[in-house]
């Protein structure tokens, strides 16, 4: 099964007349329309993700990159770099080189060895798992690098990665997992995830193919769990439906957003949630008598369960005004958050405080382990400069937690998820 090319914005940009936004038919802004985040593009370069653009050389700040007409951004919109343009951030690329690992190391095709450095471990799973998936026609890959499926770009392989294409196939895959007693994980957009370098001897269910979204005239929007959150928000705004625009800069899937109760600027996904279909680890549709409980950046949906579909209830709004709001919110994120490969905020904000501000006040911006570095733009972000290992990221994060606890007495809680090997 060929990899899909998911694209995500790193910076707003300016465009020439032959450029289009391929996602949802949105027109890209004209040259100069986006102010300080503007960037020029050639006619063969496209911007995806609802009209938010790929940047030109110099426009990305700490990981700036140049683009040629034939270079595309694959695997989540992390861009290809021209020879010499990355400085300390990575490697040189020619026009025919593709950066499938976030723009830094082009990996081998699925099933082959890994990229540079030591070969990743090859994991084995009960052959009955792949046989059962083949029998029911559910696509899968063996020894699939998880680094290809996370925004941070680190992590070893999954022994087997399945790609259910509908809620029914998701249910069936979980039921097969139960029958064979196979350990498993649920993978959404991978935007807030760190996977250990050793990989996982498990079945990983990747929900990216569950991406159908239906926008109702009554303001009810139904979205499958793997639908891209940013695209869904942009589509709702384009339809003149208000209520989710504050989530326009949050990467990842709709299902992952529900599990994490993702949000920004005072908004959380639970504010508009109407219904949610959750399959437990055995493939059974479940709903607690008291309903699912949501709290700051979390919910009662247990690990190993999968969000197959959600419904949200939105209110009427003016499409033009909503479009203006989401452009402004996206530009604010560009100004305040780093580009490049990262997993979003590493830690939750403590009550009445901001984790990034605490880390910054301790002088820890720029702290690094290997190729992982605390962003100079926002101290609650750890950026993979190219070639970072999960061990680098985790060691650096633990350094931040230890220093904050020792010097302020605040115990920072993880906001990102960490996938470690089962005992």
Give the pLDDT confidence of 318-332 residue by residue, as tens digits.
Answer: 999 999 999 999 999
**Sign (positive or negative) of CA dihedral 397, 403, 406, 409:** negative
* All structural domains of the chain: 1-104 (no CATH), 127-206 (3.30.43.10), 213-321 (3.30.465.10), 338-419 (3.90.78.10)
Q: Is 71 exposed, middle or buried (0-12, 13-18, 19+ CB in 10 A)?
A: buried
**159 CB-side CA count, 13 A:** 17
Cβ-contact 232, 243 below 8 angstroms: no
CA 77 – CA 96 distance, rounded (Å):
17
| SS3 assignment, position 106 | coil
- CA–CA separation, 374 vs 401, rounded Å? 13
| pLDDT tens by residue, 139-179 | 999 999 999 999 999 999 999 999 999 999 999 999 999 99
Tens digits of per-residue pLDDT, 204-213? 999 999 999 9
Which of 264, 207, 190, 255 shows the shortest CA–CA distance to 229?
Answer: 255
pLDDT score of 29 more than 50: no
Say which range, 98-102, 149-153, 177-181, 221-225, has the weakest mean pLDDT: 98-102
Composition of the chain by helix, strand, coil, percent to 5: 25, 20, 55
In sequence order, the β-bridge partners of residue 177 are: none
352, burial (CB in 10 Å: exposed 0-12, middle 13-18, buried 19+): exposed
Global pTM value: 0.73
């Amino acid at each position: 099964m060929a990899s899909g090319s998911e694209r995500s914005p790193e910076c707003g940009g300016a465009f020439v007349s032959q450029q289009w936004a391929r996602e949802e038919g949105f027109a890209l802004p004209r040259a100069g329309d986006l102010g300080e985040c503007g960037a020029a593009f050639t006619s063969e370069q496209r911007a995806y993700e609802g009209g938010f653009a790929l940047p030109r050389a110099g426009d990305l700040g700490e990981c700036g990159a140049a683009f040629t007409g034939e270079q595309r951004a694959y695997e989540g919109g992390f861009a290809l770099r021209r020879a010499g343009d990355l400085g300390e951030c990575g490697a040189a690329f020619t026009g025919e080189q593709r950066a499938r690992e976030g723009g830094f190391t082009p990996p081998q095709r699925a099933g082959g060895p890994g990229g540079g450095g030591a070969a990743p471990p090859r994991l084995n799973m009960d052959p009955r798992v792949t046989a059962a998936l083949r029998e029911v026609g559910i696509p899968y890959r063996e020894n699939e690098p998880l680094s290809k499926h996370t925004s941070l770009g680190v992590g070893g392989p999954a022994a087997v990665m399945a790609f259910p294409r509908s809620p029914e196939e998701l249910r069936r895959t979980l039921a097969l997992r139960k029958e064979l007693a196979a350990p498993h994980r649920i993978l959404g957009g991978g935007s807030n995830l760190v996977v250990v370098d050793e990989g996982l001897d498990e079945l990983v269910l990747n929900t990216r193919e569950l991406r159908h979204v239906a926008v109702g005239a009554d303001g009810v929007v139904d979205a499958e769990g793997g639908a891209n959150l940013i695209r869904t928000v942009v589509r709702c705004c384009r339809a003149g439906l208000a209520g989710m625009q504050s989530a326009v800069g949050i990467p990842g899937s709709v299902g992952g957003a529900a599990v994490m109760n993702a949000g920004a600027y005072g908004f959380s996904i639970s504010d508009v949630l109407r219904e949610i279909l959750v399959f437990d680890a055995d493939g059974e549709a479940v709903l607690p008598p008291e309903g699912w409980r949501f709290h700051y950046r979390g919910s009662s949906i247990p690990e190993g369960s999968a969000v197959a579909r959600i419904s949200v209830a939105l209110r009427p709004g003016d499409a033009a005004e909503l479009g203006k709001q989401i452009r402004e919110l996206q530009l604010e994120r560009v100004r305040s958050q780093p580009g490049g490969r990262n997993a979003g905020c590493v830690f939750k904000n403590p009550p009445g405080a901001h984790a990034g501000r605490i880390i910054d006040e301790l002088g820890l911006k720029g702290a690094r382990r290997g190729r992982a570095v605390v962003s100079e733009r926002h101290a609650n972000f750890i950026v993979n400069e190219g070639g970072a290992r999960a061990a680098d990221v985790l060691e650096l994060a633990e350094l931040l937690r230890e220093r904050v606890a020792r010097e302020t007495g605040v115990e920072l809680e993880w906001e990102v998820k960490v996938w470690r090997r089962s005992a």
